[in-house]
Amino acid sequence: MKKLLLPCLSVLLAGIAAPALAAGPTHGATYVAMGSSFASGPGVATRVPGSPPGCARSTADYAHVLARKRGLHLVDMTCAGATTADILDRSQAGQPPEIDAVDADTRLVTITIGGNDLAYIGNLWAESCLRRPDAVPAAWHPQDCKVVPEDQVQAASRRLPMQFHRIIAQIRARAPHAEIVLADYTNILPSHGSCPQRLPLSPEQIAAGRRVAAQLARITAEAAKADHVKLVAASAVTMAHDVCAADPWVSGFRFPPNPRVFAPVPYHPTGQAMAAIAAAVDRAL
């Protein structure tokens, strides 16, 4: 009888423990969000009070939506324009490297990064600007629109996997009990066709942008797999809502009159995209 009860007891205890392990960070746990503008959410809802204006950090970015849902203590370090170097090594917009917010109390870290390393959005902006300079207010300096050459983009893409590895390794060293989630970028470009009013690019430029987007998604997924962290494919979650879709979850090529205004900027996720990504992260946890 004892031989029968012991295995049954162990199975019962495992069944009780499993939901707790699968539940992710609990109410009140510290959550650090890191990444670029696709995490900070320019123009979505309102700017986070007291946050650096240059970071364009939204009260409804996916980190804030997730933190409210789970009752987490959020430290939002996301910042528009951030590269992997801004997470790891250098200050930006008056704040220290984003990773400095991670410590032994951190229980969740989300990261959306790499697009600026590969000049993904920057080149879409610059190419659109060169084709439609009349659509860019003078305060945004349309004369400064410059496309990063392909060889530089590819050189950055070869460095990016190691940068992901460095970020994950440093998080684990600082916060050994933290859950880590990589979320890639909201889908921007249609799988076919175009919409010149929202996306003033040639078919060749759109195809090149798709290749960079696919490369970024692949590098992010491979980094998550190699370092055994969770992946949320925001690109897949938002695939049907590209800039040319009937229900787009990214802004078209339209600028606010002044860069200092907290308002939507071209080719960036809307509140619908942020809510969908937050729900995907929640499911992953």
Is 1 within a domain? no
pLDDT tens-digit profile of 200-254? Answer: 999 999 999 999 999 999 999 999 999 999 999 999 999 999 999 999 999 999 9
Q: What is the CATH number of the domain that holds 243?
A: 3.40.50.1110
Query: How many domains are there within the chain?
Result: 1
Q: Is 181 helix (H, G, I), strand (E, B) or coil?
A: strand
Is 14 within a domain? no
Q: Residue 126: give the domain boundaries.
A: 28-284
Is 222 within a domain? yes
The predicted model gives 142-169 an average pLDDT of 96
**pLDDT of 173:** 98
Tell me what the pLDDT averaged over the chain comes to.
92
Q: Report which of 80, 56, 132, 62 is spatially closest to residue 281, judged by C-alpha positions.
A: 62
Reported confidence tier of residue 82, pLDDT bands at 50, 70, 90: very high
Is 20 within a domain? no
**pLDDT of 75:** 98
Is 127 within a domain? yes
Residue numbers annotated as active site: 37, 268
Which alpha helices (DSSP H) does 71-175 contain, by range?
A: 84-88, 120-131, 150-174
Is 5 within a domain? no
